[in-house]
Structure 1
Amino acid sequence: MPSVVCLGETMAMLTPTGNVPLAEATELYYGVGGAESNVAMGLAAMGVEAHWVGRTGRDGFGTRILAELASHGVGVSGVEMDEELPTGLYVKVPAALNSATAESSVLYYRQGSAASAMSPAMLTNPAVSSLLEAAGLIHLSGITAALSPGCRQMLTAVLTAPRHGRLVSFDVNWREALWRRTDKAVLRTLANQSDVVLVGTDEALPAFGTNDEAQLRALLPDTAVIVLKNAASSAIALMRDGGRVEVPSLNVTVLEPVGAGDAFAAGYLSGMLSGLDQRSSLRRGHLSAACTLTVPGDRGPLPEAEVLERILACSEADWAGTHVAPGRIDSPALSGGQA
């Protein structure tokens, strides 16, 4: 299976422990988070050779990020550590703790970070260029494009370089706060230059002005596949030749929604890299997302290979009857109904 390079930003993450609001917290859980590195870890867990390429500060946060990714089997040889600029940081307040809005909130401290200083020059780093040349897939996101002009120029350089058979995937990952002062037309250009675009119906409206399938295909005519995610409803693959494949979402007992989008991307892309058809790749994305929705962290483990294969190959009726809950999968496709 070809290797994958996930190019973007990873930050240190802090969140309150215990059932207290941020202002009253005396302890914060310390982890790491980033859309592209989440996808890299998801791919590595599925047996794909995955690398994360980006920039961190030469500080404790940066060291923690590299150690965390390496511990999940992700290659970090293409990461640059800045001697002066710091690693970005974000603070996550879970929904149950955010009494003001009853929704999860995030505070970002990323301005002037090492990641915001990414530019086309990073692509000439021998450690980076060798990874890109050997990759079968390069995974990007709209988050990187919004960080700085240099970051946008770097993505443009990746997308306009000769492909030599490799594919480029682009997850829109819409972040309203990042795009307030940036021309959103940039997103459309970058997405249209990609082979695979992943976008939620809720993201498509602010990012592209529409979530209508026909209009999205017209806006992104050069993209081979647009994967349109309808949250808890379904995911739809819209092919350039007019083909359309829709797969319903699984029934899930949700514990924590964070990370499901990245898990879906890892599942779908791993299916595509394995040579699966669109229906099976979408199913793999759904199952990966479902497993993540049932754990408190950003990544949930997939079932064993035999269970995975039986669910991916099951009938439409058995797929509709499958339920994923914390620690178990109940499905007519499985002997005895559960795993």
Structure 2
Amino acid sequence: MENSTFGGEILTLERLKLTSQSFIPAFVLLLLVYIFIVVSNIGLVVLIFKSRSLHQPMYLLFCNMSINDLFGATIIVPHLLRDLLLSDSERFICYTDCAVQAFCVHLHASVSHTVLMIMAFDRYVAICSPLRYASIMTGRTVAALSAAAWTAALLMVAILVGLSVRLSRCRSVVSNLFCDNASLFKLSCESVLVNNIYGLGYTVVLLGSSIGSVTLTYLKIAVVCLSSRNKSLNGKALQTCTTHLAVYVFLLVSGFIIVTLHRFPQLADHRKVAAVMGHVVLPVLNGVIYGLQIKEVRQRIMALFHNNKVALMDV
């Protein structure tokens, strides 16, 4: 089978190695985390769109992150929850579904980088050119930047996955808990030189532009803060930039860990756990950081809880 063309459409997925004692806690924990991701991110989007005072560039960009986080978690977590309940003989996926899932997985990761780049630019304009902020970051500008972030990611990922889909297949086992580009082209016995070259170029362009723009942006912000004696400005910059950098650093570290572990087959189980964590922890972090640590959003959430409490007491 390894050296012959495999024409079947049904693939077998690997699974996490869980003991009978850890299976139920893992399932319950993953389910609760997914519920939190759905509630927090949908709640944040609804809250921002319903509150006129929150119709500002920074919060509209948060909506991009929340929608992308919900999209990324929904691609992975329900699929994993289902597979945890299935035996090894039932863990199947159609090749077409596998390719779609791989496309969505990489789209989520790419959009996370492109949107965070735009958020860094937004913070740069707000802190370094506050008087010009309203004229630069208009609603039309935010919409155009958001569309560019999604479109650029979509095009790059479409080529990435398309190069893998064109290959013939000689294997039927996906060496991962879910489908991604690496697991797709590993199904083939053909030369994947073109895939590796484009994949390297894709990674260099995405990470290079992401790291370069965020680093340059925050160096300029740091220069402005160090040269300014305005404690209010420095405090605001510290609050908004720290949360953004925390999310960005986690995104980079998790991505590097997953890519590195792909090069070591003997660490396959560690790679599977890292892949799940990368698609689950970031949406949770965003829900907590942007939903609870930003003053305006926190006040809105507290007001909603207070109103509900008063209504219950009146009843």
TM exceeding 0.5: no
Normalised to the residue count of structure 1, the TM-score between the two structures is 0.25
- Which has the greater radius of gyration? 2
Higher RCO, 1 vs 2 (CA within 8 Å, ≥6 residues apart)? 2
Which of the pair is proportionally richer in helix?
Answer: 2
More strand by share: 1
Give the TM-score normalised by structure 2.
0.26
